[in-house]
Amino acid sequence: MIYKIENKKIQVMLKNEVIELPIKLKNKINENFENMKKTGANIWNGEVLCASECNIKDDKVEMICKKSDYAHYLYGERIGCPKGYECKNLSAGCLLETIDEYYIVGEKIEIEQTIIREAREELNIDLNDKKSILYNKISYIYVSEDNEQPGVQLLSKAKTKMTAEEVRKYFESYYKYLKENNLEGEFRELHFLKKENGIEELKELKNPKRNYLIPLLKIDMKGK
């Protein structure tokens, strides 16, 4: 489910608590992790944070994070944990729109800084640059169902002063720079979806898509 949270205060609380799991589930998680290691997976079982609660109120969003481990996360992602024992990760992203009304879709905690860093690393676009960005603000939150990842996704909405064609040429130049310098980019290709037909065009893309994309476009188009 996706919610509009523009102008709400965001509070993320880290509890020094480990998520308690039933013994039977713990054994399955550990067995799965050991089996993955036996097949040659280069993994180690470090600590991770899980968004155990997410409460959306009239004036704020409250998120409570507890501790678990990577074995728990992997089991939930690949096999699935019973409801109430999921290890939901907390992540951030940005819905970017051009000035001529195209959505930009790419494939892929101080939350605001995470969003800004990701946009800079993946697109080489500075969301703090007032010369090229009309606005940028955290506007949406996606809370997943069951074991889907990411579990909780905070989404900023930004609008650039560039047109879709200008962004396309800009990204092609940036991608060429990455290749020439043996650097790895997050996106191999960008898709430009005309805002008025964004959902239909998104459905036509053959590559796998995050489950939050269609509801995100739907709620954003209502507010245009």
Write the DSSP assignment of 86-114 as a string of letters: ----EEEEEEEE-TTSEEEEE----HHHH
Between strands 152-160 and 133-143, the pairing is antiparallel
Q: pLDDT tens digit string along 141-169?
A: 998 876 677 688 889 999 999 999 999 99
Packing angle of the helix pair 23-38, 70-78 (nearest 10 deg): 90
Identify the pLDDT of residue 206.
81
Percent of all residues in the chain with a pLDDT value above 90, rounded to a whole number = 54
Residue 35 reports pLDDT greater than 90: yes
As a whole number, the mean pLDDT across the chain is 88
Are 54 and 5 in contact, with CB atoms under 8 Å apart?
no
Residues 202 and 197: their CA atoms lie apart, in Å, by 9
Q: pLDDT tens digit string along 103-115?
A: 987 644 566 777 7
Residues 160 and 180: their CA atoms lie apart, in Å, by 27
- Other C-beta atoms lying within 10 Å of the C-beta of residue 164: 20
Its sign, for the CA torsion 218, 222, 223, 224, is positive
Q: Which domains does the chain have, with CATH numbers?
A: 2-90 (no CATH), 91-222 (3.90.79.10)
Q: Which of the residue ranges 3-12, 49-58, 108-117, 174-183 would you say has the lowest mean pLDDT?
A: 108-117
Residue 191 reports pLDDT greater than 60: yes
Identify the pLDDT of residue 101.
95
Q: Which is more confidently placed, 115 or 59? A: 59
Single out the residue of 181, 208, 207 nearest to residue 124, CA to CA.
181
DSSP letters, 50-95, are EEEEEEE-SSEEEEEEEEEEHHHHHHHHHT-PPTT-----EEEEEE
Residue with tokens 């990455």, as numbered in its chain: 178
pTM of the complete model: 0.78
Identify the pLDDT of residue 106.
60
> At 193, phi and psi to the nearest 5?
-110, 120
Mean pLDDT for 90-109 is: 82
Residues 139 and 95: their CA atoms lie apart, in Å, by 9
